Amino acid sequence: MTALDLSSPVAVVGTGTMGQGIAQVALVAGHDVRLFDSMPGRAQAAADAIGGRLDRLVEKDRMTAADRDAARSRLHAAKSLAELADCSLVVEAVLERLDVKQKLLRDLEAVVDDDCLLATNTSSLSVTAIGGVLRNPGRFVGLHFFNPAPLLPLVEVVSGFATDVTSATRAYEMARAWGKTPVACADTPGFIVNRLARPFYAEAFAAYEAQSADPATIDAVLRECGGFRMGAFELTDLIGQDVNEAVTHSVWQAFFQDVRFTPSLAQRRLVESGRLGRKTGQGWYDYGDDAERAEPHTAEQAQAPAYVVAEGDLGPASDLLALIREAGVPVREDEEDHGTRLVLPGGGQLVLADGQTSVEFRDVVYFDLALDYRRATRIALSASQDTQPQTLSEAIGLFQALGKDVSVLGDTPGMIVARTVARIVDLAHDAVAKGVATEEDVDTAMRLGVNYPLGPFEWSRRLGRSWAHEILDELHQRDPSGRYAPSLALYRHAYATDKREGTP
């Protein structure tokens, strides 16, 4: 089964934000495109809006005037569903309501040919449930585009319980022929991206609720230390707090209120207060004309320690030793393996976030996981009331000597980046073990769908086989709600090569 022939007309029903974007993609690929919307006049308005966007592409020299004219002549607003009868593919992008989508699909099935592929752009409903009303649910597939569809390459091709393999393959090949990067996934709550991205928001909001730091500081740590393009607070202000919360809520509900997906109370209050983000002028941040830009907390200049003693293997942070030496701070390596830590001249310890809290130890400062310690411009530290001031000051001075800004958080087990990455890695292993998608497609989806600097499996390989499991195991002991409970899949992955002696 191959992609749709370009001579086959394609229809898009529901011509709002997503419908227009998908129609533009199909049009530019070369199809005749029919638009239909239940609101009178909307389909024509959408055709005009798409025409305007093509004009801008011509102005920017990204399309020739001749191609624009040809595309416009292939675009038609339909006044009834009957006008879609000869289409080979219909993509619905109507209101996100199960009853509305089901009724539309039943009506469509009565109009189109038996071999017409029917698709939904739903982001949160079950593809199986929508298609369940069809006489032939095998022809129905999820085609989840991302906004703005003409620009973002990722398309999740979702197979419902009854979707035929041939329909999914056809949809996949078609997305590829349209210049997109399709990934195949099973019909599970949130599909790949919206399922695996939940901890990115949840862990940032949880750190804020726990008074570890304010939004600007947490965002700066995610960006400048974690290598994420945007922090969770600024990103949800851009998406819309109501939209982001609705996705979280629907994934949590669809997983029968699985505690790993519990929504954030702080975000709930934000939505209740009408602070929905940029679109209302206020969200986590203030966007008013005279609003002051919120700055992250950055530690005052402190003296670099005279030397550090490195004990054991620093694992994902082992690059630090070279950086410390390059900064002129002598590193004494202790042959005896007391643990994996840096010991400061005052006797305090500097340890990579491992899921334990600093209150458990006499004098420890934790530092967060960085995507790349050389390129990171900020490092977060976590200390408790029991941490000696000299230890904190030496730790701050050490990272400042490496050219980093330092943000000091309250005692935060797993810090910000480390626990976020550990949870995303865990959900990724869990999803693949449950047949949601392949490792490769999961990595592609997270890099292209939400711009993560690395896919979860790439990250996992870099951090070491048991890293995520160990940190989550520690967090789970301190918060036994189940939120951090590592999955069986992650456990298997961590210990697959670490066979125990003896009989079970």
Report the interface residues with ligand NAD, using CB under 6 A: 13-19, 37-39, 42, 93-96, 100, 104, 121-123, 145, 147
Q: How many other C-beta atoms can be found within 10 angstroms of the C-beta atom of residue 200?
A: 24
Tell me how far apart the alpha carbons of residues 271 and 100 are, in angstroms, rounded to a whole number: 25
Q: Could you tell me if 460 and 425 are in contact, meaning their C-beta atoms sit under 8 angstroms apart?
A: yes
| Min CB(260)–ligand NAD separation in Å | 23
Least separation in angstroms between CB 152 and ligand NAD: 9
Between residues 177 and 246, which has the closer beta carbon with respect to ligand NAD? 246
Of the pair 183, 213, the CB lying nearest ligand NAD is at: 183
The CB-of-270 to ligand NAD minimum distance in angstroms stands at 19
Burial of 49 (0-12, 13-18, 19+ CB in 10 A): middle
Phi first, then psi, for residue 373 (nearest 5°) are: -65, -25
Residue 76 or 297: the one with the smaller Cβ distance to ligand NAD is: 76
What span, in angstroms and rounded, lies between the C-alpha atoms of 410 and 79?
60
Taking the least distance from each CB to ligand NAD, the nearer of 3 and 152 is 152
Alpha carbons 110 and 436: distance in angstroms, whole number: 32
Q: Closest Cα to residue 272, out of 238, 241, 249?
A: 241
- Using the minimum distance from each CB to ligand NAD, give the nearer residue, 42 or 341: 42
Residue type, 497: T
Q: Using alpha carbons only, what angle is made at residue 15 by residues 12 and 17, rounded to the nearest 5 degrees?
A: 115
CB 194 to ligand NAD: min, Å:
9
Write out the E strands in 214-346. 308-311, 331-334, 341-343
CB closest to ligand NAD, residue no:
16
Length of the chain measured in residues? 504
Nearest to 12 by CA among 99, 74, 65: 74
**Residues annotated catalytic, as ranges:** 123, 144, 156, 194
| For ligand NAD, the closer CB: 310 or 450 | 450
Q: Which is nearer to ligand NAD, 36 or 366 (CB)?
A: 36
Residue with structure tokens 């207060």?
273
Q: How many CA atoms lie within 13 Å of 378's alpha carbon, on the beta-carbon side?
A: 24
Pairing of strands 331-334, 89-92: unpaired
Per-residue tokens: 100: 């509305």
Q: How far is the CB of 430 from ligand NAD (least distance, A)?
A: 23
Least distance from C-beta 156 to ligand NAD, angstroms?
10
Min separation Cβ 140 and ligand NAD, Å: 14
Task: Tokens for 490, please give them.
Answer: 């992650």
In whole angstroms, give the CA distance from residue 260 to residue 284: 23
Q: Which is nearer to ligand NAD, 95 or 322 (CB)?
A: 95
The two structure tokens encoding residue 180:
């997109």
Q: At what angle do helices 417-433 and 467-478 cross, to 10 degrees?
A: 110
How far is C-alpha 99 from the chain's CA centre? 28
3-state DSSP assignment of residue 287: coil
Minimum separation from the CB atom of position 141 to ligand NAD (A): 14
- A 10 A CB-CB count for 420 gives 27
